[in-house]
Amino acid sequence: MVIFERFLFQVNMIIGICGGSGSGKTTLLKRIANELEHHKPAIFSMDNYYHPIQMQQKDANGAYNFDLPTALHKEQLVSDLNDLASGNPIEVKEYHFNAPPDKNVLLTIESSSLIIVEGLFLFHYQEVHSLIDFSIFMDVDPAVQLDRRLYRDQETRGYTREAIIYQWENHVAPCYENYLLPYEHLANFRFHNDHRADEEFERLMYELHGKMVI
């Protein structure tokens, strides 16, 4: 049924980007969207589906763990992505760290012939993976990822270095090992986000242009 609806509404390609924290998912998404801006791609971020903090699980030390599949409202996420894939607009509250739920901006996302999805659980959520036409797995040195997270969370979130490293060792790294890495072989493209990034991007766009029918 979804296949028929996508044909009817001319949603011809859904690209998915998966990678750990600090791997460069959002940066790559922006580069792809900019390169293909003439298609007016619809951008779908899984970050917009985090449950409120009071609904998040705590670890053995009482720290909230935002790096579990249960951290997101999976049912609403899947429902909205199906709607978008069927050619329908969706409304979603844009996620901002530490912002109260009633302060988040309500976004209207129009469907498009090209949809780009990014998030940690792109493969783990089978209902999402089944909709993806071309998937990308971000490959980055873990030390680089940690450096990026240290900079981001100290500068924009007010975390201490000790708290960030605790989260990395107890939440972020286990999330990657359990919910991302087991699926890397399923990706259509492995993006090495290091000194080869520009070459990788050219190679990626060559493959995408070869597969796109829009």
In this prediction, residue 182 has a pLDDT band, given cuts at 50, 70 and 90, of: very high
Model pLDDT, residue 24: 94
Would the CA dihedral through 57, 59, 62, 63 be positive or negative?
negative
Burial class (CB in 10 A: 0-12, 13-18, 19+), 4: exposed
**3-state SS, residue 131:** coil
In tens, the pLDDT along 94-127 reads: 887 655 555 678 999 999 999 999 999 999 999 9
- For residue 40, what is the DSSP state? -
Model pLDDT, residue 5: 44
Q: Residue 154: how many CB atoms within 10 A of its CB?
A: 14
Model pLDDT, residue 157: 81
In tens, the pLDDT along 127-168 reads: 999 999 999 999 999 999 999 999 988 887 888 999 999 999
- For residue 105, what is the DSSP state? P
Residue 10 reports pLDDT greater than 80: no
Beta-bridge partners for 198: none
User: Which residue, 177, 149, 174, is CA-closest to 161?
Assistant: 149
Q: Within a 13 Å sphere around the CA of 210, how many CA atoms are in the beta-carbon half?
A: 6
Model pLDDT, residue 143: 93
In this prediction, residue 90 has a pLDDT band, given cuts at 50, 70 and 90, of: very high
CATH number among 3.40.50.300, 3.40.50.1980, 3.40.50.920, 1.10.645.10, domain 2-211: 3.40.50.300
Q: Please state the pTM of the whole predicted model.
A: 0.89
As a whole number, mean pLDDT of residues 53-57 equals 94
